[in-house]
A and B are shown apart, each in its own frame.
Chain A
Amino acid sequence: MAMRGLTVFIADIRNCRVRELEEKRINKEMANIRTKFKDGNLSGYDKKKYVCKLLYMYILGWDIDFGHMEAVNLISSPKYSEKQIGYLGITLLMHENSDLVRLVVNSIRKDLDDNNEIHNCLALHAIANIGGREMAESLASDVHRLLVSPNSKSFVKKKAALTMLRLFRKHPDVIPAPDWAERITNIIDDYDLGVCLSVTSLITALAQQYPEAFMLAIPKAIMRLHKVIVERDFSADYVYYKIPIPWLQVKLLRLLQYFPPTEDPNMSEMLHNVLQTIINNSQETPRNVQHNNAQNAILFEAINLAIHLDCESDIVRQATNILARFILSKETNVRYLGLETMAHLAAVTDELDEIKKHEETIILSLRDKDISVRRRGLDLLYSMCDVSNAKTIVSELIRYLHIADYALREEMVLKIAIMTEKYATEHSWYVDVILQLISSAGDHVGEEVWYRVVQIVTNHENLQEYSAKMVLHYMRSPHCHENMLKVGGYILGEYGHLIANLPGASPIEQFNTLHARFGLCSLATRALLLSTYIKFINLFPEIKGAILAVFNQYRHVLDAELQQRACEYMAIATMPTDDLLQTVCEEMPQFPERESALLSRLNEKTGQTEDKRTWNIGGKDSNEKTPANLLAATKERNENGSVDDLVNSVSNTSISAAGGENGAAAPANGSAAPPTPAAPATKAGLTWKDQLAPGYENWYNRLRDGADGILYEDSILQIGIKSEYHGHLGRLAIYFGNKTHTQLNSFAVSVEAPEGLVVANSHTLATSIGPSTQIQQLYSLECQQIVTEVPLIRISYQAGSTQSIYLKLPVLMSRFIEPIQLASADFFGRWKQIGGAPREVQEIIKVPGKIELERARSILVNHRLGICENVDPKPGNFVATGVFNTSLSGKVGCLLRLEPNHETNMYRLTIRTTSDVVSKHLKEILHTALLYKPAPSTR
């Protein structure tokens, strides 16, 4: 960037000691540059120089409203230095909604396609830093190409991954992530740790949106962690203060928190090893602050993952001890994070005892000198609160409320209100605390807090008298907050009669207490109090006179709402009979039970960031609805939308009770519409079935009758299977042979089993196959219900690009049949018992060529049916029986007769089973088998 003009300019600006001078110098320079640009005909060098000057002014915070075009021109310069400044210019001066984006898209595409990697990089930087919709739509596939192409250099791949991430965050709809899932996931295995780091960031974002498509990332992440942490296999350049690439470790540990715990026992053992090693490493005393931070960054992330996997595990117990030490640490960062992580634990575990031991320390943290720490302390206290310690915690918090930072108070009030409601064991305690809160926290009490009090008091009869007494008491204190007047007005209007006989609480005294402050409150409160007064007329006819005087006075007030109320109430109160008054002022019915508006308000306050949270601040129950894993994420949306709802219903009720036009105090209809479950994430593009390897039938059909042999073969891979079955169980061994002389990498196999059939693998398969080597995978099968589909298998590996092979596994329903032999009488007895359609199916099958009895016999035997000799009177007719086994839906008896007709070369097949589904499917299996003519072997 060596340019004399620029250096002089920067020095000039630095010499301006006062802002006015700086402004003068800037204006002069801007005018100068403007003229230069207007004149045109500038050399590339000059353009670059002036753009640089503008950028410097931009950094200093001055508004730059020209020069964009010159930066755009520089991008297409053949000289690197000019191109680079051009790109820097547009990334600083342009934003995603800028009109000029359209102008640069083409230049950027040209640089993406360029053979020069440096140009690719500059273009990627620009997309990653600007990235509007226009760019996303036109350039996403180019970026993807650079990411997955085997020819891309590592430093291009890294940038492409993060660029795609940026595009995805902004415009997720533009990225067909599920279709790209596999190739992207495979890059976790890249030998370059920088590439792995970048792509992990990308996957973390994509997987939050499409958890199913990215399931493959689980084993990959675990294996990579294991490699780095346990096997200590990494390049020395990536060691940061004795710790191998801490950022990658953190990211992988975080990634796993977005998935449900893995069910593969080998994987979970590997992961356990990883976590244990991290915990053990943390015992080492760090050498300096960097070492310490890096070590703790990993440790905290590992603890969060351990909590996510199983919050009662041994690892978590060890972690709790470490955290207990941390919250006492001298170092503020460690205290802060210790409290934060402990809050995470408290939010999900049942076992609060360990945490409660440190209650005192945590309460002390409310008085820490650092507000960041105080906030964490507050959150932790809120999360660890339960019935046993609610009183202590709530009273501490109320005490602290008076000295707390203003920024903290509203949230504290909400939290205190929630805890009090949730953990109250005595009604009086609830009322005491909440009223104390309203009276002392004043302005920090949101509307929803007193709405909630009204709801609870209305719904609990035994609270009503006590609260009426207490509100009256509070309203008499000299500093009565307006909120208190609102609660007081409402409660006395409803339940004032319950205390009317107490000394000092006679009707007129109640009225005077309220009315003393009437003139000082806001219009809304006055409107509410007018409603209280009309209720008083109904409850205490003896003070009607005093109240009518107030109504009369307010009939002429300027505010329309107050005036209307006064007039209407006046009219109701002065009717000849009290019928309408009584109906209007009937006692409020109970509110329907629903989620507390306070919780919704709190959730709103602590709002969700883009990142899907794995947990929420709060006790265990506040986390039950939040997604423990992303597959359940859709549930989350059901929680929204209750705030307004509730508030409306509360305010509607009080108004309609007061308004009187409706004639009855009907509560607003409280039944919220049932939450509509969000539509399930659309499944990734094609289903497996549509992508079966061409020509798979040749091998598959040969194996349909249960033989062992080759399932698939091409120039690279040979796949063979062996199987055995017993009852509803089976075992399947699949062999994968690498026929080439190079190693096959990123090798992965997954099986999609139909519903009712469980296919489990015995161990984790290696991710690579050496040259001319064979590896084996064992599957255990369990037939739980009647299955009519066969499982599909998908094999993928890296050979230049990712290759995927989709195949059917010959695990037919008939595999789970056990042959039996029946005598003639038994057979026909049962045959009759089963009866005709739908449990009987019959089909005439014409076979190509001549009927071969031996073949028919072997087909029946291979499909595991027992042939009963001498049952059918006509020799040559087959009678066969078997029992189809399932572990959950019981057994199904299968009987069949196969009658060959030699003249016409036709079979008549009749099947009767105790299940119409089995009958139909068994018929199809045998039909296919009888028609099948093995192609003459080509070898």
Chain B
Amino acid sequence: MTFINFIIIFNRQGKIRLTRWYQYMTDKQKSSLSQDVVTQILARKRGMCNILELEGRRETRGKAIYKRYASLFFCFGIDWNDNELSGLEVLHKYVECLDQYFGNVCELDIIYNYSAAYQVMDEMLLGGHAQETNKKVVVKHCKGFDKLEESDSIVHNLRASNIA
């Protein structure tokens, strides 16, 4: 049923750009798991499959599915007997949505506008499950949020100028 346990986005140098944990883990577990996943994925060669089986303790036993887009790796942790391809395509859809939202997304967009990247993520995925796969709907909602935000900042600027 494609349950996503965690999302890690990192670059080729292993620098983590975005994480989301849908299952409770201590900070220590989180950092050791993400280190582990990042190292293992970076060590894999081209042409290997997009599925990495995560050995280990019972609670973390699962699979990591990942894909590289330009300098960034997108990785989802999924349950052991989930449908891997379906998960991979959710991942691709997320990238498509980011792309549409930012207009040709690059690593810098995700760095400087991480809150927007989270927003797109939360519109597509919730609690580890796909909620909306219609790109138009996702991007429409996110742009709608931006408008709300803009109106806030206009008010803020007006006030600031009044005070000045």
Chain A residues with a Cβ under 8 A of chain B:
1-2, 7, 10, 14, 45, 52, 55-56, 59-61, 63, 79-82, 84-85, 88, 95-97, 118, 124-125, 128-129, 131, 155, 158-159, 161-163, 165-166, 193-194, 197-198, 201, 204-205, 235, 237-238, 240, 245-247, 250-251, 254-255, 290, 293-294, 296-297, 300-301, 332-333, 335-337, 369-373, 375, 407, 607, 609-611, 613
Q: How far is the CB of A144 from chain B (nearest CB, A)?
A: 15
CA distance A372 to B134 in the complex (A): 32
B53, A371: Cβ atoms under 8 Å? yes
Within 8 Å by CB of A63, from B27, B45, B119, lies B27
B1, A294: Cβ atoms under 8 Å? no
Q: How far is the CB of B57 from chain A (nearest CB, A)?
A: 9
Q: Which residues of A contact B55 (CB under 8 A)?
A: 407
Q: Which residues of B contact A85 (CB under 8 A)?
A: 115
Q: How far is the CB of B81 from chain A (nearest CB, A)?
A: 6
A60, B85: Cβ atoms under 8 Å? no
Chain B residues numbered 1-53 whose CB sits less than 8 Å from any CB in chain A: 1-3, 16-20, 22, 24, 27, 31, 44-45, 47-53
B114, A290: Cβ atoms under 8 Å? no
Q: Which residues of A contact B155 (CB under 8 A)?
A: 79
A301, B83: Cβ atoms under 8 Å? yes
CA distance A290 to B90 in the complex (A): 10
Q: Is B86 positioned at the interface, with any CB of A under 8 Å from its CB? A: yes
Measured CB to CB, the nearest residue on chain A to B53 is A372
Interface stretch of the complex, out of B68-76, B98-106, B144-152: B144-152
Among B93, B131, B144, B153, max chain A CB count under 10 A is at B131
Q: Which residues of B contact A197 (CB under 8 A)?
A: 130-133
A247, B133: Cβ atoms under 8 Å? yes
B85, A14: Cβ atoms under 8 Å? no
Given A131-B127, A162-B131, A238-B134, list of 17 further CB < 8 A pairs? A2-B153, A59-B114, A79-B155, A81-B153, A118-B148, A162-B127, A194-B132, A198-B131, A201-B1, A240-B133, A293-B89, A297-B83, A297-B89, A372-B49, A372-B52, A611-B1, A611-B79
Known A-B contacts A79-B152, A372-B48; the reply to A237 vs B137 at CB < 8 A is: yes
Measured CB to CB, the nearest residue on chain A to B44 is A370
Measured CB to CB, the nearest residue on chain B to A238 is B134
Q: Which residues of B contact A333 (CB under 8 A)?
A: 49-51, 84-85, 88
Q: How far is the CB of B20 from chain A (nearest CB, A)?
A: 8
CA distance A383 to B24 in the complex (A): 34
Within 8 Å by CB of B85, from A80, A335, A337, lies A337
Q: Which residues of B contact A88 (CB under 8 A)?
A: 115, 118
Q: How far is the CB of B43 from chain A (nearest CB, A)?
A: 11
Within 8 Å by CB of A373, from B49, B61, B84, B114, lies B49
Number of A-B pairs whose CB atoms are under 8 Å?
193
Q: Which residues of B contact A250 (CB under 8 A)?
A: 2, 83, 86
Among B16, B27, B83, B113, max chain A CB count under 10 A is at B83
Q: How far is the CB of B108 from chain A (nearest CB, A)?
A: 9
CA distance A393 to B141 in the complex (A): 56
Q: Which residues of B contact A128 (CB under 8 A)?
A: 126-127
CA distance A19 to B79 in the complex (A): 34
Q: Is B143 positioned at the interface, with any CB of A under 8 Å from its CB? A: no
Within 8 Å by CB of A337, from B84, B92, B133, B136, lies B84
Within 8 Å by CB of A165, from B53, B89, B93, B129, lies B129
Top 5 nearest A-B pairs (CB, nearest first) are A297-B85, A166-B127, A332-B49, A128-B127, A80-B148
Known A-B contacts A155-B141, A194-B134, A237-B136; the reply to A300 vs B1 at CB < 8 A is: no
Among B44, B61, B84, B141, max chain A CB count under 10 A is at B84
Known A-B contacts A247-B130, A293-B89; the reply to A81 vs B48 at CB < 8 A is: no
Q: How far is the CB of A91 from chain B (nearest CB, A)?
A: 8
Q: Which residues of B contact A45 (CB under 8 A)?
A: 156
Within 8 Å by CB of B149, from A84, A95, A205, lies A84
Interface residues contributed by chain B, number (CB under 8 Å) = 69
A125, B122: Cβ atoms under 8 Å? yes
Q: How far is the CB of A276 from chain B (nearest CB, A)?
A: 20
A247, B2: Cβ atoms under 8 Å? yes
Q: Which residues of A contact B52 (CB under 8 A)?
A: 372
Among A158, A247, A294, A337, max chain B CB count under 10 A is at A247
A80, B149: Cβ atoms under 8 Å? yes
CA distance A372 to B137 in the complex (A): 36
CA distance A247 to B3 in the complex (A): 12
Known A-B contacts A81-B148, A251-B2; the reply to A158 vs B132 at CB < 8 A is: yes
Measured CB to CB, the nearest residue on chain A to B15 is A60
Q: Which residues of B contact A610 (CB under 8 A)?
A: 3, 79
B90, A607: Cβ atoms under 8 Å? no
A370, B81: Cβ atoms under 8 Å? no
CA distance A245 to B132 in the complex (A): 10
Q: Which residues of B contact A63 (CB under 8 A)?
A: 27
Measured CB to CB, the nearest residue on chain A to B88 is A293
A61, B49: Cβ atoms under 8 Å? no
Q: Which residues of B contact A300 (CB under 8 A)?
A: 83, 85
Q: List 14 A-B contacts (CB under 8 A).
A: A2-B153, A56-B114, A88-B115, A129-B127, A240-B93, A246-B86, A251-B2, A297-B84, A297-B85, A332-B50, A372-B51, A372-B52, A609-B80, A611-B81
B86, A10: Cβ atoms under 8 Å? no
Q: How far is the CB of B109 from chain A (nearest CB, A)?
A: 11
Known A-B contacts A10-B112, A166-B128; the reply to A59 vs B133 at CB < 8 A is: no
CA distance A702 to B108 in the complex (A): 77
Q: How far is the CB of A896 from chain B (nearest CB, A)?
A: 59
Q: Which residues of B contact A14 (CB under 8 A)?
A: 111
B89, A240: Cβ atoms under 8 Å? yes
B131, A158: Cβ atoms under 8 Å? yes
Q: Which residues of A contact B122 (CB under 8 A)?
A: 125, 129
Among B20, B45, B115, max chain A CB count under 10 A is at B115
Q: How far is the CB of B9 from chain A (nearest CB, A)?
A: 10
A82, B152: Cβ atoms under 8 Å? yes
B126, A7: Cβ atoms under 8 Å? no
B81, A609: Cβ atoms under 8 Å? yes
Q: Which residues of A contact B83 (CB under 8 A)?
A: 250, 254, 297, 300-301
Q: How far is the CB of B25 from chain A (nearest CB, A)?
A: 8
Q: Which residues of B contact A238 (CB under 8 A)?
A: 133-134
CA distance A255 to B2 in the complex (A): 12
A194, B49: Cβ atoms under 8 Å? no
CA distance A2 to B113 in the complex (A): 8
CA distance A936 to B149 in the complex (A): 69
CA distance A96 to B127 in the complex (A): 13
CA distance A203 to B145 in the complex (A): 30
Q: Which residues of A contact B50 (CB under 8 A)?
A: 332-333
Within 8 Å by CB of B92, from A163, A251, A290, lies A290
CA distance A246 to B130 in the complex (A): 12
Q: How far is the CB of B86 from chain A (nearest CB, A)?
A: 4
CA distance A363 to B61 in the complex (A): 25
Within 8 Å by CB of B133, from A7, A10, A194, lies A194
CA distance A609 to B84 in the complex (A): 15
Q: Which residues of B contact A246 (CB under 8 A)?
A: 86, 89
B133, A336: Cβ atoms under 8 Å? no
Q: Which residues of A contact B31 (CB under 8 A)?
A: 61
CA distance A610 to B48 in the complex (A): 28
Q: How far is the CB of A25 from chain B (nearest CB, A)?
A: 15
CA distance A387 to B19 in the complex (A): 49
Among B1, B17, B84, B135, max chain A CB count under 10 A is at B1
B85, A294: Cβ atoms under 8 Å? yes
Within 8 Å by CB of B62, from A7, A161, A609, lies A609
Q: How far is the CB of B7 from chain A (nearest CB, A)?
A: 12
CA distance A235 to B126 in the complex (A): 22
B53, A81: Cβ atoms under 8 Å? no
Known A-B contacts A125-B122, A238-B133, A254-B83; the reply to A1 vs B47 at CB < 8 A is: no
Within 8 Å by CB of A80, from B53, B114, B145, lies B145
A80, B152: Cβ atoms under 8 Å? yes
Q: Which residues of A contact B113 (CB under 8 A)?
A: 1
Q: Which residues of A contact B133 (CB under 8 A)?
A: 194, 197, 238, 240, 245, 247
